[in-house]
Amino acid sequence: MSGHSKWATTKHKKAVIDARRSKMNTKLVKNIEVAARMGGGDPAGNPTLYDAIQKAKKSSVTKDNIERAVQRGSGAEAGGADYQTIMYEGYGPGGVALLVECLTDNKNRAAMEVRTAMTRNGGTLADPGSVSFLFHRKGVVVVPQQQEGRTLAEDDVLEATLEAGADDINDLGESFEVISEATDLLGVRTALQAAGFDYDSAEASFVPDSQVELDAEVAPKVFRLVEALEDLDDVQNVYANFDVSDEVMATVDA
């Protein structure tokens, strides 16, 4: 998943300085609201909420917006929507497998918008189960390499998280991605905190079992499709099984 993550990391940096930041923050607030509804409004007793708040803070979501989302989700404040999680499956250019995770209060709207974005950008929707078997639910924690005046080595992260359940560590360039079983996510995150390491995000994600290597011709087409899907208000996450080499990324960026 390293290529996909490197692309996502680069995309995120660009998104912070343009109009997509507002859309991303809206989705982070929605995550908080749903986490509070599912597990209660106390982050100390709701790890999913704790991590949703942490990720929102890292993206500069205001404290007021975070607190209001918690209140709406927990029922302390009126106005919360009845969001449902829906997963769409499909294929993109080059045979890339896609899982599109939606959080929506209108299933018909979400389905129509996902289908439109797919067909306009060279993708096709697939039957349920025809793509999802290529992915497994995993815990993913992203740890920045620069930590208060020191640069973490991969061995530092591995030593801190191995006994807590870390299965693999990917070097994303400016951060490390710690992969574990989804059930070990809390343990890995807690182990990092105990070691004094900051982290950018900790969440359960769908990680592909294998990747499709993209060349410089197909990669931009896949990027456009994923970005079109991520631009949809109802889409929370897009998981894909592509990998992109540093050489291809350099060509695409140029």
Domains present along the chain, CATH in parentheses: 2-74 (1.10.10.200), 84-133+210-253 (3.30.70.980), 135-208 (3.30.70.980)
Q: How far apart are CA 235 and CA 254, in angstroms?
A: 29
What's the pLDDT at 167?
Answer: 93
Q: Which of 202, 205, 199 is nearest to 156 (CA)?
A: 199
Residue 245: partners with Cβ closer than 8 Å, 6 or more residues away: 3, 213
Average pLDDT over every residue of 59-79: 87
Q: How far apart are CA 80 and CA 67, in angstroms?
A: 13
Q: What integer pLDDT is reported at residue 1 of this predicted model?
A: 38
Output the pLDDT for position 11: 57
Quote the pLDDT of residue 14. Answer: 53
- What mean pLDDT comes out for the span 163-182? 92
pLDDT confidence band for 87 (50 / 70 / 90): very high
Q: What percent of the chain has pLDDT over 90?
A: 70
Closest CA to 12 of 3, 23, 21: 21
What digits encode the pLDDT tens for the residues 14-41? 554 556 677 888 899 999 999 999 999 9
Q: How far is CA 97 from CA 89, 90, 118, 171, 243, in A?
A: 8, 6, 12, 23, 12
Q: What is the pLDDT confidence band of residue 2, given thresholds at 50, 70 and 90?
A: very low
Q: What is the pLDDT of residue 63?
A: 93
H/E stretch holding 29 reads helix 20-39
pLDDT band for position 129 (cuts 50, 70, 90): very high
Q: Of all helices (H) and strands (E), which one includes residue 202?
A: strand 201-208
Nearest-angstrom CA–CA distance, 66 and 55: 11
Asked whether the predicted pLDDT for residue 65 surpasses 80, the reply is yes
Calculate mean pLDDT across residues 212-225.
92
- What was the pLDDT predicted at 149? 81
Q: Residue 178 corresponds to which tokens in the numbers above?
A: 């710690």
Residue 188 in this model has a pLDDT that exceeds 90: yes
Map residue 179 onto helix, strand or coil: strand
Compute and round to an integer the Cα radius of gyration of the chain: 18
Instruction: Tell me the mean pLDDT in the region 75-92.
Output: 85
Q: What residues contact 71, with CB distance under 8 A and at least 6 apart?
A: 36, 41, 77
Q: CA–CA separation, 169 vs 194, rounded Å?
A: 18
Query: What is the pLDDT, as a whole number, of residue 25?
Result: 86
- What value does the mean pLDDT take over residues 136-152? 91
Q: In angstroms, rounded to a whole number, what is the distance separating the alpha carbons of residues 74 and 149?
A: 38
Name, in order, each residue with C-beta under 8 angstroms of 47's C-beta and a sequence gap of 6 or more: 39, 185, 186, 189
Distance between CA atoms of residues 3 and 36, nearest Å? 33
Instruction: Give the model's pLDDT for residue 77.
Output: 75
What pLDDT score was predicted for residue 3?
45
Per DSSP, what are the bridge partners of residue 58?
Answer: none
Q: Is the pLDDT of residue 143 over 70?
A: yes
pLDDT at residue 191, rounded to an integer: 96
Residue-level length of the chain: 254
Q: What is the pLDDT of residue 8?
A: 62
What pLDDT sits at residue 103? 92
pLDDT of residue 16: 47
